[in-house]
Structure 1
Amino acid sequence: MPALRPLPLRIFLAPLLGAALLLSACSEQTPQSPKEKTTRPSPPATVSTTVPSGATLTIRYSRPSANERKVFGGLVPYGQVWRTGANEATTFAVDKPVTVQGKPLPAGKYALFTIPAEKEWTIIFNKTPNQWGAYEYEPAQDTLRVPAQPTQVAKRVEQFTITTNSTGQVTMAWENTQVTFAVK
């Protein structure tokens, strides 16, 4: 009877290494708890208002900081789809049909993307609200695209900020740029 030889160590380590890599990849995709989100470098924020038509709009987003970087035309390139914040795609929800920049938007929850440019931005309402960033953005899922004009702000805005008011104005500001669009 021939002597038994020990199996090479790589036969045992390869499956373990593969499993560890798979587990690591999966853990990066799992949504974080609300407490973990507040400790992110770009913390979450929510703004909500009721517009004159009676519709309530709610925007959930993350607030990255400029940290002395050039934001628009630098960190956020011109002419490319941007998640409009950080981390998960920004969401825009309305409980009743509204108009945005005069164009109809059905009630629902949308991913709010933008395409920044020097002279005109495109505001995008996409049917797939639960996305990480804009990595899986599909233009075929857009419900509405509207233009908006950027303006310069006098005082630098360090952390990306979205505000709303009861007249339905939504303003996004960061670094030295702000963009406003109307929801009615």
Structure 2
Amino acid sequence: MGLQKKIYLLFIALSTVTFVNAQNKPASPAASATGKINGATISINYSSPSVKGRVIWGELVPFNKIWRAGANAATTIETDKDLTIEGSKLPAGKYAFFVIPNEKECVLIFNKVAKQSGTYDYNQKEDQLRVTVKQKASDTSVESLVYTINKNSIVLSWEKWNIPFSVK
């Protein structure tokens, strides 16, 4: 086989691989939510996994274990002004956001080390704030994880749970 034909076949093979990879969407695409609460601009950056017929709470996301509140790298929450989360002060800044869910309530964690790869780098000594909230069951299922910033709250919704927390 001549050199020109080998180069041509290599080009076709590489083009095919590139085309196939371009067709694959990420399993947990990057997502964000931005809004204002009481004059503060809040931005949440996360990867949004889908239910895909799985049981999320207590199985895919185990009870009583720290979870990155999304997929891939840890979710981040950033505010340009001090906030009050469930009655406790959170200074302006950027935080990694984690959740420890269980059957009755969820511990929400705002960690000072914003850039973390999931929970692997997590160090509890770097927690700025921990609050406990009660999740709410929903009659309808949310397929892809989503954060919603409302007038006085933020809600994490996924599968048949909403995890709301008050923000002032």
Q: TM-score range by the shorter chain?
A: 0.7 to 0.9
Matched, 1:126 2:111: yes
Which amino acid is the alignment partner of residue 176 of structure 1? Answer: K
Deviations along 1:110-145, one digit per CA (max 9) or x if unpaired, are 000010111110000001111111111110000000
Q: Which structure has greater strand proportion?
A: 2
Q: Please provide the CA RMSD for this pair.
A: 1.3
Shift of 1:56: 0.8
2: CA distance between counterparts of 1:39 and 1:180?
29
Matched, 1:137 2:122: yes
Q: Is 2:64 aligned against 1:64?
A: no
2:86 to 89, 101, 105: 101
Q: Where does structure 2 lack aligned partners over 5 or more consecutive residues?
A: 1-21
Q: Which residue of 1 aligns with 2:17?
A: none
Corresponding position: 1:40 with 2:26: yes
Aligned pair 1:174/2:166, yes or no? no
Q: Give the TM-score, by structure 2 length.
A: 0.84
Q: Secondary structure at the match of 1:136?
A: coil
Secondary structure of the 1:140 match is helix
Aligned equivalents of 1:180, 1:73: Cα separation in 2? 18
Letter in 2 for 1:113: F
CA distance in structure 2 between the aligned counterparts of 1:148 and 1:122, rounded to whole angstroms: 6
Q: Who is 1:19 aligned against?
A: none
The CA deviation at 1:85 is 0.4
Q: CA deviation at 1:168?
A: 2.7
Q: Could you list the runs of 5+ residues in structure 1 that have no partner in the other structure?
A: 1-35
Task: Look up the match of 1:3.
Answer: none
Q: Which runs of 4+ in 1 moved over 6 A?
A: none
**Aligned to 1:86, what secondary structure does the other structure show?**
coil
